[in-house]
């Protein structure tokens, strides 16, 4: 099997998984700027094909949003795939090093907190759900 075809199948599956959970794909820097200009809270998932952490992050993202408090907006950029969009998103994550997968919680376009890769890869999906929901309780309105 051609490696590029295999990887594209994997990427498409990872995109589909997070889109079905309700996250909007941001594939250009302009889409990132437009999404981050929205008022309210925005959860950004920096998606990744990394098997270990990505396999924890996507299910955690899908499950964390089923909570009394949740972000107003759910968006995703895909590291290694939509490079320019990911780079633009990371410009908003002041004080944090690039990592993927990861989650950023923004309020009115300003970074509040991140759940970084090292916090994801050492956790179970339910532990990441709890980390995200704790952020939602602190920063988001009741849904």
Tell me if 129 sits within 8 A of 66, measured CB to CB.
Answer: no
Active site residue 52: yes
Distance CA 70, CA 4 (A): 36
Active site residue 50: yes
Tell me if 21 sits within 8 A of 65, measured CB to CB.
Answer: yes
Tokens (6 digits) for 111: 């970074």
Helices (H), 21-116: 29-36, 51-64, 83-91
Residue 111: how many CB atoms within 10 A of its CB?
16
Residue in 50, 105, 114, 135 annotated catalytic: 50
Residue in 37, 52, 66, 97 annotated catalytic: 52
Q: Which residues are catalytic?
A: 50, 52
């Amino acid at each position: 099997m051609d490696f590029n075809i295999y990887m594209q199948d994997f990427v498409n599956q990872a995109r589909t998984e997070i889109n079905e959970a309700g996250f909007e794909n941001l594939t250009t820097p302009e889409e990132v700027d437009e999404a981050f200009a929205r008022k309210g809270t925005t959860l950004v998932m920096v998606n990744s094909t990394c098997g270990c952490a990505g396999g924890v992050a996507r299910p955690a993202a899908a499950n964390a949003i089923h909570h009394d408090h949740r972000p107003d907006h759910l968006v995703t950029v895909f590291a290694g795939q939509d490079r320019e969009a990911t780079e633009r998103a990371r410009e908003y994550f002041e004080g944090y090093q690039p990592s993927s997968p990861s989650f950023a919680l923004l309020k009115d376009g300003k970074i509040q907190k991140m759940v970084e890769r090292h916090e994801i890869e050492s956790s179970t999906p339910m532990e990441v759900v709890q980390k995200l929901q704790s952020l939602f309780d602190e920063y988001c309105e009741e849904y």
